[in-house]
Amino acid sequence: MKNLLIIGGSKFAGKSFVNYFNVEKKYKDLNIIIISRKKNKNIKKIKNIKFIKKDFKNIRYLPECDFIFYCLRTSSLRSDTRLFKLFAKKIIKLKKKPKIIFTSSGVLYGLNNKKIKITERNKISIKNTKQLENYKKRWFRQKLNLENLFYSLSKKKFKIVVLRMFSFIGPSLLGQNYASSDFIKSSKQKKNIIINGPVNTYRSYLYEKDFVEWIIKIFYKFDNSYEIFNFGSDKPITLYNLANKIRNYFKSNDIILLNNSKKVDYYVPSIDKLKKKFKLKINVNLNKAILKSIIK
């Protein structure tokens, strides 16, 4: 048996794993341990999932594990660094060195105003954040800081994957403040769908089932000391077309565009490097992903 430890699993990542193993019968050789301040209320009794309901700061020893999925997030760079230092102290005490995935963000690339998919070769620079909203500028600094900290950890012979996350869709995101979730919520309540960004705002959405299966496959196959990959779907769609797809399931509501600017916001990754390295493919297309999210 292999043990996968998820740290910071109270939101999308942890919920996605719970939803997945509530239904799927794959990976019977994998135990999931989730450290989270909040326990998922919908979890069934699953033999291979264990919750540790504690704040990470109050965890004295980490359970022995083969893989660690690091999803901790805070509101400041200082808090991120403090938690990382606690994490680094704890994993040194483990009997064997686990493989680690750190969830970074595509926000590091800044605003992409060309209809060209973002690759890992795109330059990372604070200059690219000038047109970003303030919370995204803060997010940029936090994620870049943590990428550097994890790189330093790889020098201590830990195998680390950095995944720059893009956009996702699924029941685990419902109730959170993301475009797909907001559109579904508005449609269910028979309200207009409001789009704040420019007409040419492009995103791509990976369904949570693919999210979980890709993470597990990466853990099993990855064997380098440190590597960075984009992570998400590479199938672009405008927010307007996404809203229209969601609205059609409810046959009501108007779509209101608050920004008629023709500026391009193309937040879509190239995942060629990821797919080639780990032999991954998208199994749930966007239409199915929307339907599965709505009927949940």
CA dist list (Å): 83 to 53, 100, 171, 290, 291: 17, 15, 29, 35, 38
Q: Which amino acid is at 148?
A: N
What angle separates helix 134-154 from helix 77-92, to the nearest 10 degrees? 20
pLDDT value at residue 293: 92
Q: What is the mean pLDDT of residues 183-200?
A: 90
Residues 7-31: pLDDT tens digits?
987 789 999 999 999 888 889 899 9
**Beta strands across the sheet bearing 237-238:** 237-238, 200-203, 264-266
Mean of all residue pLDDT scores within the chain:
92
Residues 130-156: pLDDT tens digits?
888 888 999 999 999 999 999 999 999
Coil vs helix vs strand at 131: coil
Whether the model pTM is above 0.85? yes
pLDDT value at residue 176: 86
Q: What is the mean pLDDT of residues 274-280?
A: 97
Residues 194-235: pLDDT tens digits?
998 899 999 999 999 999 999 999 999 999 899 999 999 999
- Measured distance CA(65)–CA(30) in Å, rounded: 11
Domains of the chain with bracketed CATH: 2-167+205-232+269-280 (3.40.50.720)
The secondary element (H helix, E strand) that includes residue 70 is strand 67-70
- Please give the angle made by the CA atoms of 5, 7 and 11, to the nearest 5 degrees: 120
